[in-house]
Chain A
Amino acid sequence: SQTIHQWPATLVQPVGSPLSLECTVEGTSNPNLYWYRQAAGRGLQLLFYSVGIGQISSEVPQNLSASRPQDRQFILSSKKLLLSDSGFYLCAWNPGGFNEQFFGPGTRLTVL
């Protein structure tokens, strides 16, 4: 069966520090991969999506970037975190087409 992993679960980082969040999917091949951010008490904002290795599309201009070095690995990065980067980051995948998305457990990021 397919599973999705995200780590770390929680992270506290100072302003200006770098960021690397990792997401991996097991049990499927060539999934579509997504990064979302959720502010407290709000809906999800799509940040990046990827339909294949090395293919990244950005939905929102910001100081974050994403990479997909392997088929089932999706990484969210920043060179210098801002206070406004605090939030709950969710990774998701789906097999393509107009189907449901499967979400990871999320990473709670606090930038101080």
Chain B
Amino acid sequence: SQQGEEDPQALSIQEGENATMNCSYKTSINNLQWYRQNSGRGLVHLILIRSNEREKHSGRLRVTLDTSKKSSSLLITASRAADTASYFCATDSPLTGANNLFFGTGTRLTVIP
């Protein structure tokens, strides 16, 4: 299936450290997106990187994309306790319509104050 897979499944770091999460997928994509979910809440879009881009920044977030390896990473620099959440990557496919996204199982990030 197209579904992405994140690793690690869980990550615990101290406040101020950097957090890196990885995502791998299986088929060709148009875009890859990262979402954040606080416990029991809806998902919030963080960043979208297109298949012809290799790196993108947004504030303390840095996303890389390697289409040859079918992988992406999300780096959160200078983490804060408020960054504690689950992070999901989502991919689309040029083979399906209506912008269907395929989500991974997520990385649970805990930032210890």
Give a binary string over B61-99; 1 marks a CB under 8 Å from any A CB, 0 the rest: 000000000000000000000000000101010000111
Establish whether residues A49 and B40, one from each chain, have CB atoms under 8 Å apart when the complex forms.
no
Chain A min CB distance to B103 (Å): 4
Q: Which residues of A contact B (CB under 8 A)?
A: 32, 34, 36, 41-44, 46, 49, 51, 57, 59, 88, 90, 92, 94, 96-106, 108
B45 partner, pick from A44, A90, A96, A101, beta carbons under 8 A: A101
Closest 9 A-B residue pairs measured CB to CB?
A103-B42, A43-B105, A100-B45, A44-B103, A103-B43, A43-B103, A98-B30, A105-B42, A51-B98
Establish whether residues B99 and A105, one from each chain, have CB atoms under 8 Å apart when the complex forms.
no
Q: How many A-B residue pairs have CB under 8 A?
A: 60
What are 13 A-B pairs at a CB distance below 8 A?
A41-B108, A42-B105, A43-B106, A46-B100, A49-B98, A51-B97, A90-B42, A97-B99, A98-B30, A99-B99, A100-B48, A101-B90, A101-B99
B31 within 8 A of A: yes
Q: Which residues of B contact A (CB under 8 A)?
A: 3, 30-31, 33, 35, 40-45, 48, 88, 90, 92, 97-106, 108
Establish whether residues B44 and A46, one from each chain, have CB atoms under 8 Å apart when the complex forms.
no
Establish whether residues A32 and B42, one from each chain, have CB atoms under 8 Å apart when the complex forms.
no
CA of A51 to CA of B98 in the docked complex: distance in angstroms?
7
Establish whether residues A100 and B40, one from each chain, have CB atoms under 8 Å apart when the complex forms.
no
A90 partner, pick from B43, B97, B100, beta carbons under 8 A: B43
- Nearest-neighbor residue (CB-CB) of A50 within chain B: B98
